Structure 1
Amino acid sequence: MKGHKSPQETLNFKNSKPFTVGAELEVQLVNREDFSLSDSADIIFKNLPEDLKDIVQPEVLTSMVEIVSPVCEKPEEVVYYLRKALKEINQIGKDYGFIISALGTHTFARKEETHITAKERYLRLLKELQIVLRQFLIYGLHIHVGFPDKESAVRAYNLTINYLPVFLGISTSSPFFYGEFTGLHSYRTKIFEQLPRAGIPEYFKDFSQFEELFFILKDEGFIESIKDIWWDVRIHPDLGTVELRVCDSNPELDRIELLITLFQGISMLAQEIRVPEFYYQILKQNKWNATRHSIYGKFIDVNKTSTIKEKAFELLEDIQKKGIFEKLKIENRIEQLKNVLKKKPVSEKMILVYKKTNDIRILESLGFIEE
């Protein structure tokens, strides 16, 4: 496939302030009485205060919205903006009978009950993806880190590929779908992997290799922009960021802060170490272990095997010892965030409640945002 890109085709990487952060949180809108999906996105947009109109965005379904933070220096600042928007949406919902739930899947809704937002891009995707998109009752957390140049972004992208299961394991919140217990901790992951350009991507030796692949897909008409590439982590030249996309949506804002902090730390760590490349089958196995078992699954590393939870602690310790959190001026938050990692993931809490109650509907309430 070499030589496919014409000489004049290049991707402009918009350099960002190094290691700034932002997040996008997709959330469900559910009826307060029975926790079914509520087509209330338009109501939200009609009632939002002016200062939140850029932060709350429409999404593929009319029963969901996306909260998009501005660019921030620290993870706790991102959480501040998420909290502010979520609180306002829930306040609107009190008057109109809906509430936010931030789980990776809706626990019992079906595709026949949903409506696609009538935007040109979503309708184009529906025409191409058919039933795959219609059953997309899934919700994710996307995290961005900014980079000063494209090659530093590639290094962070490559290292993040290795640790995708750690991020997924920490965030799992989707063990139920279509009213069934799937037996997995993140069924959202398996639904999302049905897309043609989703899942674990490949390593790139430099930005030009990524650029070449991008233009093969674009010139052949399969994508229009980077937004049509849905990898678990992707380089986003338009924003000058690397975007982590593997996480389930999550109602625990301190857990979201932990995920942002870990990604910010790994992004800086990648500039200081040689990035090891795992066998692709090991990457897939590790991701499956997180999908199936959350933080309790096994993580196969270069020279040892541990649990995903143990690997997460190890990464935090390694980043801390290198003084990276101190450089980022977030050292004072790390011990508190380690305590978050000691708690049960949302998916396990849901499974335990289900085993006690056998009530799938009530599990939606475990996605209500902590205020």
Structure 2
Amino acid sequence: MKGKKGSGLKFSSSKPFTVGAELEVQLVSREDYSLSNSSEVIFREVSERYREIIQPEVLTSMVEIVSPVCEKPEEVVEHIKNALYEIDRIGEKYGFRVSALGTHTFARKEETKITVKERYIRLLQELQILLRQFLIYGLHVHVGFPDSRSAVKGYNTAVNYLPLFLGLSTSSPFFYGEFTGLHSYRTKIFEQLPRAGIPEYFDSFSQFEELYFQLKEGGFIESIKDIWWDVRLHPDLGTVELRVCDSNPDMERIELIISLFQGLSIAAQEEETERFFHQVLKQNKWNATRYSVSGKFIEKGGTTTVKEKIYSIIKDLDKKSIWKELGIQDRMKKLKNVLRRKPVSEKMMLVYRKTGDVKIVESLGFIQ
């Protein structure tokens, strides 16, 4: 489908399977870990080399770290780590630091301030209380594709495996000072938005265009940025963007997530994507939301766990020489050990059971 002016969406070609990431982080007081509305201080004090990497977000108590385009996940993580150290350097002087969890463990919407930016004000008018209670923080990962056809293949494959990426990242079992019983409460908050959650498969890029222009010509979106699916095609950048993950302080875990997404994007080009029933997709995502990597993962051949499915994919991509092709085969041998560690959400639960103190739990978001 074409837009009113007769022009479709242009997919901007990217170097195949390059990677980048965006990490949303909290700014918290060094004294009591409450949210600190300090983003303006950062943008005033940040050194020149980080001005493009550290960017404002919807709340003044958060910023987004945006990596440049990289060949390898390890490079992306290095950029993110350096930017986080820069923020903490500034925070030492002004009394705040960085925490990277999917939710703040005890803050409330009354304590937040919306960044004064036209887009955020427009969203506040539309979303009302939903945006005001958006004390949530995510990790977004981009993989580059040379054309729209290859991107649709990568996108459809990602739809199937959203629970794996979510399970690896879970870090939000607390909200408003309460234990929610879920490993990723951020996920449930985000799903309240009208254009969020698990998207549909597309048979072609033109099918995606048709949906896009229906939404745009109806006045519901202005650009792709107003579509908040768990994974989305991003024609402007020539990427597929994974958006299902909680923010996370474990840099090796982030590297594993990026590597897995990069590897699956390559594998998707050589095989037809198996399509799951939408109710199975929803159930799988719920299982990861509720139980993290211990949750069950349903596929047509039977049921396994999120963790075992990740191990299986890592092994399968190794057999297909994809890790070797990417030049990260040795790195993956180390990264898969992340799966032996407890997810951040489980660590938070264990600390809470011992201490009953959500402020101590918040400190688990400090960068590892």
TM-score tier after normalising by the smaller chain length: over 0.9
Q: What does residue 297 of structure 1 align with?
A: 295
1:62 to 55, 60, 63: 60
Q: Distance in 2 between matches of 1:227 and 1:193?
A: 16
1:19-98 to 2 correspondence within 5 Å? 19-98=17-96
Runs of 4+ aligned residues of structure 1 deviating over 3 Å after TM superposition are: 3-7
What is the aligned partner in structure 2 of residue 183 from structure 1?
A: 181
Counterpart selection for 1:270 from 261, 268, 271: 268
Match of 2:362 in 1: 364
Post-superposition CA distance 1:41-71 (Å, at most 9, x none): 0000111110100000000000000000000
- Give the superposition deviation at 1:7: 7.7
Structure-2 residue corresponding to 1:207: 205
Cα pair 2:221 2:227 within 8 Å, conserved: yes
Tell me, what secondary structure is at the counterpart of 1:30? strand
CA–CA separation in structure 2 for the residues paired with 1:12 and 1:329: 31
The residue matched to 2:98 in structure 1 has which SS? strand
Q: By how many angstroms is 1:104 displaced?
A: 0.1
2:191 — aligned with what? 193
SS at match of 1:85: helix
Give the one of 294, 307, 310 matched to 2:308.
Answer: 310
1:274-289 equivalence runs, <5 A: 274-289=272-287
- Give 1:273 deviation, angstroms: 1.1
One-letter amino acid matched to 1:62: T
Deviation at residue 6 of structure 1 after TM alignment: 5.0
CA–CA distance in structure 1, aligned partners of residues 338 and 25 of structure 2: 21
CA contact (8 A) 1:155 1:275 kept: yes
- How far the C-alpha of 1:279 sits from its partner, in A, is 0.1
Q: Among 352, 355, 364, which residue is 2:353 paired with?
A: 355
- Which of 214, 232, 238 is the matching residue for 1:216? 214
User: Is the 8 Å Cα contact of residues 2 and 8 (structure 2) preserved in structure 1?
Assistant: no
Contact 2:2–2:209 (Cα < 8 Å) also in 1: no
Letter in 1 for 2:166: L
Distance in 2 (alpha carbons) for counterparts of 1:341 and 1:320? 17
Aligned mate of 1:245, from 243, 246, 250: 243
Secondary structure, counterpart of 2:265 in structure 1: helix
C-alpha change, 1:51 and 1:206, in structure 2 (3 Å) is: same
> Match of 1:17, as an amino acid?
K
Q: Which amino acid aligns with 2:222?
A: E
Structure 1 CA distance, aligned partners of 2:3 and 2:136?
35
When the two structures are aligned, how many residues end up with a matched partner? 368
Question: For 1:19, what is the secondary structure of its paired residue?
Answer: coil
Partner secondary structure for residue 327 of structure 2: coil
1:68 partner amino acid: V
Question: How do residues 91-240 of structure 1 correspond to structure 2 at under 5 angstroms?
Answer: 91-240=89-238
Instruction: For residue 361 of structure 1, report the CA deviation from its aligned partner.
Output: 1.1
Q: 1:329 to 1:4 in 2, by over 3 A?
A: closer
Q: Is residue 88–residue 98 contact of structure 2 (8 Å, CA) maintained in 1?
A: yes
Cα distance, 1:4 vs. partner?
7.9
Any idea what the Cα deviations from partners look like across 1:221-265, whole Å, max 9, x if unmatched? Answer: 000000000000000000000000000000000000000000000
TM, length-normalised to structure 1? 0.98
**CA offsets 1:262-314 (integer angstroms, 9 cap, x no match):** 00001001001110000000000000000000000000012110010000111
- Structure 1's unaligned 5+ residue stretches are none
State the one-letter code of the partner of 1:67: I
Q: Distance in 2 between matches of 1:67 and 1:262?
A: 20
Q: Secondary structure at the match of 1:8?
A: coil
Distance of 1:97 and 1:7 partners within structure 2: 52
Indicate the residue corresponding to 2:335 in structure 1: 337
Contact 1:4–1:216 (CA<8 Å) still a contact in 2? no
Question: How far apart, CA to CA, are the structure 2 residues paired with 1:195 and 1:71?
Answer: 29
**Matches of 2:123 and 2:97, distance apart in 1:** 28
Q: Alignment partner of 1:262: what SS?
A: helix
SS of corresponding position for 2:171: coil
Q: Deviations over 1:156-212 (max 9, x none)?
A: 000000000000000000000000000000000000000000000000000000010
| 1-structure distance, mates of 2:2, 2:211 | 9
**Paired residue type of 1:38:** S
C-alpha distance in 1 between matches for 2:18 and 2:242: 14
Q: Structure 1 stretch 325-334 or stretch 285-294: which is displaced more?
A: 325-334
Query: Matched residues in 2 for 1:4 and 1:369: separation?
Result: 45
TM-score normalised by structure 2 residue count = 0.99
Deviates more, 1:322-331 or 1:104-113: 322-331
Cα pair 2:104 2:174 within 8 Å, conserved: yes
For the residues of structure 2 that align with 1:291 and 1:62, how far apart are their CA atoms? 27
What root-mean-square deviation, in Å, do the aligned CA atoms of Structure 1 and Structure 2 show?
Answer: 0.9
